[in-house]
Amino acid sequence: MRAIIEDIRAIYRNDPAVRNIEFLLYPGFQAIFFHRFIHFLWNLKVPFVPRLLSQISRFFTGLEIHPGATIGRGFFVDHGAGVVIGETTIIGDNGVLFHNVTLGGTGKHQGKRHPSLGNNVFIGTGATLLGPIEVGDNVKIGANTFVVMRDIPSDCSVVGTPARIIRRNGVPCDEEPPKTIDRLVHEGSFG
């Protein structure tokens, strides 16, 4: 229940257009509300039902959140149509996503296959993060940014395709995010 209260606070904190209790009609709120119950069933290892309920939620809200995804408190999705959140995704507290964001896998990994986001991460419209990457705390990812196999350190702003860090610790810069060990091994940089 505490997480749902924090999700409601996140709506008022992030959406200047919200009035009274109309947030109950927001597909992002509906999706996270149902996901919290569905995720509970998933953790109990209830067969079939969590996947069925997540598909029903997807049909009504337009957001696809796998029952296995772990989502922290204060989660907000604005204009949620087309959001995809994969099974092993981890989202910290106070995450903000806009429509058409994908937190997906590459199809090349076993086990942890989807991104892990720290606290206070903001992801703009159409951004795509693929694979078991780590995104630090207080990160802003711009609209239509494409991040594949690149970890993003804390306190950064990232934009572009491919992704580039344009601000780090409040200071403007222009650098590529560091490559993950998996990417370095794949490219032959490690034994």
Strands 156-159 and 134-135: unpaired
Q: Give yes or no for residue 103 having a pLDDT over 90.
A: yes
Q: Are 32 and 26 in contact (CB under 8 A)?
A: no
Which of the two residues, 83 and 185, has the higher pLDDT score?
Answer: 83
Please determine, for residue 177, whether its predicted confidence score (pLDDT) is greater than 90. Answer: no
pTM for the complete prediction? 0.90
Q: What tens digit of pLDDT does each residue of 63-94 get?
A: 999 999 999 999 999 998 999 999 999 999 99
Confidence of residue 174 (pLDDT cuts 50, 70, 90): confident
The amino acid at residue 186 is H
pLDDT tens string 33-46 = 999 999 999 999 99
Name the token pair of 164.
């580039």
Strand 146-148 relative to strand 134-135: parallel, antiparallel, unpaired? unpaired
pLDDT above 80 for 182: no
**Cα 129 to Cα 133: distance, rounded to the nearest angstrom:** 8
Amino acid letter, 2: R
Q: Lowest mean pLDDT: which of 22-26, 148-152, 180-184?
A: 180-184
Strands 171-175 and 164-168: antiparallel
Q: If you average pLDDT over every residue of the chain, what do you get? A: 92
pLDDT for residue 183 is more than 60: no
Q: In the predicted model, is pLDDT for residue 147 greater than 90?
A: no
Cβ neighbours of residue 114 closer than 8 Å, sequence gap 6 or more: 69, 85, 86, 87, 88, 89, 103, 104, 105, 131, 132
| CATH code of the region 2-187 | 2.160.10.10
